[in-house]
Amino acid sequence: MSKLWLIAKDEFRRNVYKKSFILALLSVPLMLAFNVGIGLIVENLEKNPTPIGYVDHSGLLDHPIQAYDENSSAAIPIIAYDSEDVAREALLTKEIQALYVLSADYRTTSNVALYYVEEPAGNATSQWYDFLQANLLANYPPKIAKRLIEGTRMTIRSPGGIIEMPAGGPTLSSMLPLITSVAFVFLLLFSSGYLMSGVITEKENRTIEVIVTSVSTNDLVVGKVLGIVAISLTQLITWILIAVLTIAIGGNLLGLTWLQDLSINWTAIAKVIVIALPSYVFAAGLMFTVGSTLTEAPEGQAVGSLFFMLHILPVYMIVTLVENPLGIQTALLGTLPFTALLTTGLRSIFTDIPLWQITLSVAVQTLCAAGALWLAGRAFRLGMLRYGQRLRIRELFRRQPALEERRTS
Amino acid sequence: MHVVEIQHVAKSFGPVKAVADVSFEVDRGEIFGLLGPNGAGKTTTIRLMLDIFKPDRGTVSILNGPMNDAKNDLIGYMPEERGLYQDTPLDRCLIYLSTLKGLSTAEAQSRLEPYLERFDLAKHRHKKVKELSKGMQQKAQIINTILHKPELVIIDEPFTALDPLNTQLVKDVMRELRDQGAAILMSTHQMHQVEELCDRIVLIDEGRDVLYGPLDDIRRRFSGHAVLVRAAGELPHIEGVEDSARHNNALRLTLASGVSPQQVLQDLMAKDVTIEKFEIAVPTLDEIFIRVVKEGDQ
């Protein structure tokens, strides 16, 4: 095995067996599971399959039409009572969860009395009104009745027609580009930490001189980066698998409607990914640079948190982003390093980002990434033999640095 | 052909001249001492040898040519600033580092076993490095330096933190390596260890080699034309002796120019002095070191 792979393997092993890695790996799935769990709880709290009853003094429901298919699992039985006394008795014995009484003059007054012991669940109330509506519209042609029952149907569509929100608000499908960018930001956060500690480890343990006289600096740097990329890929693949599993379980087994019928906008996701890749390299280069200038791992973690804050800066400007997703400020945030990734994810929900803006952003991120890599290599060579002594940032840009660079091949 | 050949190397870091002009050679099968006061340029010289730094001037030849990546595997280096991965079990750490020196994992494991036994570290092999004492870590670093059977061993302060028993063990190991043909370059401030182990030395002061050659020659060069004499009773007046001073349990007689120790011995014999000890006064390496460095300062 070449020395480069030995370094990569060791870097991978050294990190993945740590508790902190397991915690980082599980943090995103746990967050997902928590959100799905909360959604499930909220949906279940709003459901009660106990029948509802009614007494009709108006004659509207003499020949009732069911709004729902009776065989549907979501349908609640709706029971007609001839007398209010019998119906009230059924309510008290909890045979029914709510009792609706239509007054004799219902057709003119729309008066309905509701009786309950505990407030009826949301699904019971909505089914009752759907039932009532269906019967009120019984004399209309079926097509018109159906459309009236459906009510307002609003679809928000981007000018190009690529972004569409049939429900009038963001769906999970439209949120996927944002979720992708957030996943990358977290990935950056975690792997950046590994990168910094990866560089500091050798200095902290005083092994750098032994290592650089065993392998070339290039093998060392590339080996470490490969090891850390492998860690990041392990995280990303695990997260994707868990997300797919969550969607499958939540949508199909648990019946969570917001996880069903996902239509993925691959174009928007691709736009996020092309910006995410150079952004990742940029952040990795910067972290490597910082790691080379510091002397202890905890210092690196503090700087890592600062970089994370810069990445999530667009969240604090969400009002501007939502109100004017094609505005100059938004376009600028989508181009600048650090903010580009999350801004692109957020904008993708509300607009179809022009291709030239994506191209410009990719170009800027790529240039920054190249600069960061150059800086990383320089910082590593200058800082590797500084034990317990910080390398000042301005030294990185001096023409004649305090320490000569080592050969790099 | 020399294993190490350094010719007039110089290295500056900005305005600081770390090495001004250093030349020396190290041969196979010898233990060579690289000596000098703190800040003299020893570590920079070693780093120039290993191509960690590039020299501003001069040439460096290691194992018959310029340093390159392939030669990394033929060199064992224990630097001044040294350590092992503190959170890693000892055996895993040593095996990993030796695989970076070109050994396969299986080879490293089989070579490690006898060394762990010999250095009394076998029962600590699964402990994390940080759980070991300083002396144990020092022994582990020595194992790490020689496990891949290097042709050139560069070792900085090999006896730090070692008790007399382990010091002896390390000395034995170094002699064995020398006898097997390895070239050993040792940098230390423990002059008595240099006197005991080294065949030749170079003394660097303020970035220049100020003393270089076989240890015996250097000591003779600094003998100062004096003899140590211990006799039964008082010594009579001896011709050609300029000065006499007590030196341990003998007298140190400084001889006048043109007077040989043989002449003094003959005079003593002629005067029927009972001689218990007669030897040419050779200074210790400590004394030579101090003298050379002080002269340099002046």
Collect all residues of chain A within an 8 Å Cβ-Cβ radius of residue B85.
14, 201, 205, 207
pLDDT at A80 over 50: yes
Collect all residues of chain B within an 8 Å Cβ-Cβ radius of residue A206.
81-83
Q: Range with the lowest mean pLDDT among A4-18, A125-139, A180-194, B212-226?
A: A180-194
Answer yes or no: do B54 and A404 touch at CB < 8 A.
yes
Collect all residues of chain B within an 8 Å Cβ-Cβ radius of residue A402.
13-14
Strands B31-35 and B200-205: parallel
Residue of A nearest to B16 (CA): A402
Q: How far is A194 from chain B (nearest CA, A)?
A: 16
Once rounded to an integer, what is the mean pLDDT over residues A291-301?
72
Which pLDDT value is given to residue A34? 83
pLDDT at A72 over 70: no
In 10 A of CB A408, how many CB atoms? 11
In 10 A of CB B136, how many CB atoms? 20
User: With pLDDT > 70 as the criterion, what percentage of chain B qualifies?
Assistant: 99
pLDDT at A353 over 60: yes
- Of residues B28 and A284, more confidently modeled: B28
Answer yes or no: do A3 and B100 touch at CB < 8 A.
yes
Which pLDDT value is given to residue A195? 79
Residue B120: name the closest of B155, B68, B63, B163 by CA. Answer: B163
User: Rounded to 10 degrees, what is the CA torsion of A316, A320, A322, A327?
Assistant: -140
Residue of B nearest to A3 (CA): B100
Give the pLDDT confidence of A88-106 residue by residue, as tens digits.
Answer: 999 999 999 999 999 999 9
pLDDT at A402 over 50: no
Q: How far is B54 from chain A (nearest CA, A)?
A: 7
Once rounded to an integer, what is the mean pLDDT over residues A32-58?
83
Strands B208-214 and B250-255: unpaired
Residue that has been written with the tokens 């100059």 in this structure: A328
Answer yes or no: do A407 and B144 touch at CB < 8 A.
no
pLDDT at A153 over 60: yes
Give the pLDDT confidence of A229-272 residue by residue, as tens digits.
Answer: 888 888 888 888 887 887 777 777 766 666 666 677 788 888 88
Answer yes or no: do B77 and A213 touch at CB < 8 A.
yes
Which pLDDT value is given to residue B63? 94
Collect all residues of chain A within an 8 Å Cβ-Cβ radius of residue B73.
214
Give the pLDDT confidence of B18-60 residue by residue, as tens digits.
Answer: 999 999 999 999 999 999 888 889 999 999 999 888 899 999 9
Task: Show the tokens assigned to A327.
Answer: 């505005």
Q: Range with the lowest mean pLDDT among A107-116, A223-232, B147-156?
A: A223-232
Residue of A nearest to B102 (CA): A3
Determine the Cα–Cα distance for residues A333 and A341; give it in Å rounded to an integer.
9
Once rounded to an integer, what is the mean pLDDT over residues B56-83?
91
Answer yes or no: do B83 and A407 touch at CB < 8 A.
no
- Of residues A42 and B155, more confidently modeled: B155
Collect all residues of chain B within an 8 Å Cβ-Cβ radius of residue A3.
100
Smallest Cβ–Cβ distance between A210 and the set B47, B69, B79 belongs to B79
Mutate to test the interface with B, among A7, A17, A21, A207 (most CBs of B within 10 A): A207
pLDDT at A2 over 60: yes
- Threshold 0.80, pTM exceeds: no
Smallest Cβ–Cβ distance between B52 and the set A207, A406, A409 belongs to A406
Answer yes or no: do B84 and A205 touch at CB < 8 A.
yes
Once rounded to an integer, what is the mean pLDDT over residues B215-225?
83
Collect all residues of chain A within an 8 Å Cβ-Cβ radius of residue B88.
14
pLDDT at B90 over 70: yes
Smallest Cβ–Cβ distance between A387 and the set B14, B75, B81 belongs to B81
Residue that has been written with the tokens 């890599």 in this structure: A373
Work out the pLDDT band at A289, boundaries 50, 70, 90.
Answer: confident
B154 with B46: CB under 8 angstroms?
Answer: yes
Q: Range with the lowest mean pLDDT among A84-98, A349-363, A364-378, A394-408?
A: A394-408
Which pLDDT value is given to residue A1? 66
Q: How far is A281 from chain B (nearest CA, A)?
A: 27
Work out the pLDDT band at B183, boundaries 50, 70, 90.
Answer: very high
φ/ψ of B127, rounded to 5, equals -75, 150
Answer yes or no: do A402 and B100 touch at CB < 8 A.
no
Q: Is B25 left (phi over 0), alpha (psi -120 to 50) or beta?
A: beta
User: With pLDDT > 90 as the criterion, what percentage of chain B qualifies?
Assistant: 60
Once rounded to an integer, what is the mean pLDDT over residues A152-168?
67
pLDDT at A223 over 60: yes
Which residues, in sequence order, are bridge partners of residue B254? B226, B243
Residues 6+ apart with CB under 8 A from A407: A216, A217, B51, B54
User: Rounded to 10 degrees, what is the CA torsion of A222, A226, A227, A228?
Assistant: 100
Q: How far is B190 from chain A (nearest CA, A)?
A: 23
Which pLDDT value is given to residue A326? 82
Which pLDDT value is given to residue B184? 97
Mean pLDDT of chain A: 81
